[in-house]
Amino acid sequence: MLLYAVLAPHSIAGAQGSALVLALLWGLERWLAAGDTSLLAPASRRQEAAQRWWPLAFFWALCTVSALMSYEPRWSLDGLRSVAFMATCGIVAFWVQSRAQAWCLAWTLLLSAQVGWLYTGYQLLVGNGVRLVELSPDSPLHPYFQPGDVVLRVDGEVVRTPEDITRLVLQKPLPSSQPVSVTGRRVEIPLTAQLDRAALQTRLVLLGSAGLGIRASAPARDFRASGFFSHYVTYAEVLQILVSLALGMAWCTVGRQRRWLWGLALGLMLALGLTLSRGPTGGLIVSVGVMLYLLWREGTVSTPRVVIGLVIAGILLSSALAYAYAMRHMSVVDAREGSLFWRLVVWQEGIGLVAKHPWFGIGRYSDKLHAAEWGLYAHGDLPPGHFHNTYLQVAVWYGLPALAAYLWLLLTYVGQLLRRRRDGIALGALGALTGFAASGIAHFNLGDGEVAMVLWFVIGIALGMPVTAEPDSSLPYSTR
């Protein structure tokens, strides 16, 4: 579990590998303990575990039926592996035996996550790509790039200066018939170019880096932070969960621990702002609102402090959203803006598929493989992808009964976390879950394995703590 906590904020392979080991050990323990009543957990704990497994079992069963009836059974059955990892929450909860163990795991998770935003800071310092400030008319890059664009990679390797580009072009023997692959971006639009390597090498040998025709360049620092993940939205979703966890722990802790937790939360919140992602930022707003409401209802936080907290959170998060819109050159109310327009189109297409296949859906990945046949993504005029809505995607792939089972599972987690809301981890996990559910309206975050593995771990360590345990002396509730 410590290995899981260390790796989850950075690597899906590490998180899933740790989860598989936990699952194997869980199965071995259950087999060895069969028939030994002395090893059974208390009745209340077993009852809670059963309440979690029932909706998940129904969801599994419906997804399996959907896969068997799919347009593409082979791919849909293979996709059931990601559904199986949803059991991670219950398995982690089984292994957590005390509040001290849960807090140790939560601290490990949050401390490990700091490496991601430190790496983002390093990228800001050195730049992430070469910004083409000025290009000569005869530049080999000119047909594909224009001033203001950013060159990110050459032959798959990251570049930060024109000299890096020259070095990578010349590293293959002269002459070489293999083209030079150059990737970059224009704001957020990806750019690609295939250049004649032999001609470019000859030009660079004669003129050096000046042969690129780059008259002026600068490090690119307007990128969207992605940590060690391959996509910024994935990183943003993970950060929303971790910020919620840190805030929940900070609000239910006193002394030096609280100051450290506030510091960790602010660092992660800064990284979230640098992802320029609206959905997870909106999810964090929902998460903060839910946690402050629960603290206010319990009488732990007074009304003035709730108002002040909401104002500060509103200013910080609104500033992050305004920064995102400015950096992405977007208008808040423009329905023709790229990502919003794309969603409005594919949402209508997804609803149409649900109307035709309401019971068991079309099967996982069938929409990708039959997109042209079904005229999806505006008959191919829009970039292919998914439906960017967790609830719609579940209904399209698995059907409306499966969507009901998924909502049942989320509500079960909410109910069990509410019973433990006086502990900071449970409060933070509840905030993370509500933020995840809110962000799922604009993103298919359930299908993002990196995000799901962090969420199931956070909820699992929260649900592993007993409801009736005496509060720690470090918690403000214990003084009342």
**Contacts made by residues 404-409, CB under 8 angstroms, sequence distance 24+:** 405/55, 405/58, 405/59, 405/62, 406/55, 406/59, 406/446, 408/55, 408/58, 409/52, 409/55, 409/56, 409/59, 409/86
For residues 213-234, give the mean pLDDT.
88
What element of type H or E holds 151?
Answer: strand 150-154
Asked if the bond preceding 175 is cis, omega within 30° of 0, the reply is: yes
Kindly tell me if the per-residue pLDDT of 478 is higher than 50. Answer: no
The CATH class for the domain spanning 129-219 reads mainly beta
Q: Which residues pair with 185 in a beta bridge?
A: 150, 190
Kindly tell me if the per-residue pLDDT of 417 is higher than 60. Answer: yes
Q: How far is CA 75 from CA 57, 127, 244, 312, 388, in A?
A: 21, 40, 35, 47, 20
Q: Please, what sign has the CA dihedral across residues 73, 79, 80, 81?
A: positive
Ranked by mean pLDDT, which of 61-65, 176-180, 296-300 comes out on top? 61-65
Q: Looking at residue 338, what is its pLDDT?
A: 59
Kindly tell me if the per-residue pLDDT of 355 is higher than 90. Answer: yes
Q: What residue spans define the domains of the chain? A: 2-24+43-124+227-479, 129-219
Q: Please, what sign has the CA dihedral across residues 380, 385, 389, 394?
A: positive
pLDDT digits (tens, 9 = 90+) for 392-415: 999 999 999 999 999 999 999 999
- Mean pLDDT value across the chain: 87
Query: How many residues appear in the chain?
Result: 480
Which of 149-153, 205-209, 371-375, 437-441 has the lowest average pLDDT?
Answer: 205-209
Q: Looking at residue 434, what is its pLDDT?
A: 97
Q: Which residues pair with 184 in a beta bridge?
A: 151, 191
Whether the Cβ atoms of residue 249 and residue 476 lie closer than 8 Å to each other: no
pLDDT digits (tens, 9 = 90+) for 158-169: 899 899 998 888
Whose CA is closest to 280, among 456, 117, 431, 83?
A: 431
Kindly tell me if the per-residue pLDDT of 319 is higher than 80. Answer: no
Kindly tell me if the per-residue pLDDT of 64 is higher than 80. Answer: yes
Report the SS3 class of residue 297: helix
Share of the chain above pLDDT 90, in %: 48
| pLDDT category of residue 41 using cuts at 50, 70 and 90 | low
Q: Looking at residue 409, what is its pLDDT?
A: 96
Q: Looking at residue 383, what is its pLDDT?
A: 76
- Rounded CA gap, 449 and 468, in Å? 33
Half-sphere exposure of 431 (CA within 13 A, CB side): 35
Q: Looking at residue 174, what is its pLDDT?
A: 59
Which of 54-58, 92-96, 323-327 has the lowest average pLDDT?
Answer: 323-327
Angle between helix 88-95 and helix 449-463 axes, rounded to 10 deg: 30
In this structure, what token pair is assigned to residue 289?
């609102």
